Amino acid sequence: MSGQSDLELVNKKGIRLDGRKAGELRNIKIEAGVLENADGSAYVEIGKNKVRAAVYGPRECHPRHLQDPTKAIIQCKYNMMAFSVSDRKRPGPDRRSVEISKIIAEALEAVVLTELYPRASIDVYIEILQANAGTRCAGLTAASVALADAGIPMKDIIPAVAVGKADGKVLLDLNKEEDNFGQADVPLALIPKTNEIVLLQMDGNMTRDEFDKAIEMGVAACHEIYELQKDALRRRYSAALKDGDSNE
């Protein structure tokens, strides 16, 4: 997020480097139930981002001192694979992945009925296979489909997308160039049934009017992503029923 580059991110006709208009999402593909050995799983592609999420639980919480006698805890691990980015990335956790794991777990806590499973842990693993900006949003989008696929009771599933500003224009679903050289990046996630925002961060600067416009764009896009999430779950379970494989 430098805001300084000679690169023209949005041309005179309002078209972005990847051919999109300001309010357009990248291509999205969502699949539920992609891993056999996890209780629930999902695969998400948003543009060039490729993300896999796996869920285990509810199961006994380890380490035991983390157990909460009133509810389950959600333990989330967001990890960027060493080959997911073009720069050199050391494998393993870093400050950024610890922060992203925390905010994704907090967003999921807003929808999972954790009070049904005292002392338990619900473990969510998010692996970024390929990154091109917006990976925390793609990760959260995948994680909530994986939780639903695991049959974990939830108030709703959570879609997420980043909005922001580049070349002075408010844009939906920033790609890497827009994220790196634009003026603002605002990841957001919401509970579609209530429009309650459960994740909102901001890097960079925008005016109040631009911010309002960006949020409006992001909320509308989250509702589009929500439909794709539900569709992925429907496809997964209609296929499972056809195979006589409903307990998978």
Sites of contact with ligand CDP (CB under 6 A) = 85, 87, 89, 96, 131-136, 162, 176, 179, 185, 187
Q: In the bound complex, what is the minimum distance in angstroms from residue 157's beta carbon to ligand CDP?
A: 19
* Nearer Cβ to ligand CDP (73/128): 128
Q: In the bound complex, what is the minimum distance in angstroms from residue 55's beta carbon to ligand CDP?
A: 20
Give the position of tokens 């691990």: 77
Q: Round to whole Å and give the CA distance between 201 and 199.
A: 7
Q: In the bound complex, what is the minimum distance in angstroms from residue 49's beta carbon to ligand CDP?
A: 7
Q: In the bound complex, what is the minimum distance in angstroms from residue 99's beta carbon to ligand CDP?
A: 9
Q: In the bound complex, what is the minimum distance in angstroms from residue 78's beta carbon to ligand CDP?
A: 9
Residue type, 77: K
Q: In the bound complex, what is the minimum distance in angstroms from residue 4's beta carbon to ligand CDP?
A: 16
Distances in Å between the Cα of 107 and the Cα atoms of 121, 160, 190 are 16, 10, 8
Cis status, amide bond into 69, omega within 30 of 0: no
Q: Write a three-state SS string for 60-103.
A: ECCCHHHCECCECEEEEEEEECCCCCCCCCCCCCCHHHHHHHHH
Residue ranges with strand state E in 120-236:
120-130, 160-166, 169-172, 184-191, 196-200, 203-204
Q: In the bound complex, what is the minimum distance in angstroms from residue 198's beta carbon to ligand CDP?
A: 15
* Nearer Cβ to ligand CDP (96/223): 96
Q: Are 3 and 181 in contact (CB under 8 A)?
A: yes
* Nearer Cβ to ligand CDP (67/97): 97
* Nearer Cβ to ligand CDP (33/134): 134
Q: What is the DSSP string of 102-131?
A: HHHHHHHHTTB-GGGSTTEEEEEEEEEEE-
Q: Round to whole Å and give the CA distance between 175 and 122.
A: 31
* Nearer Cβ to ligand CDP (149/179): 179
* Nearer Cβ to ligand CDP (20/176): 176
Q: Round to whole Å and give the CA distance between 210 and 203.
A: 14
Q: Cα angle vertex 78, ends 97, 133, to 5°? A: 75
* Nearer Cβ to ligand CDP (19/92): 92
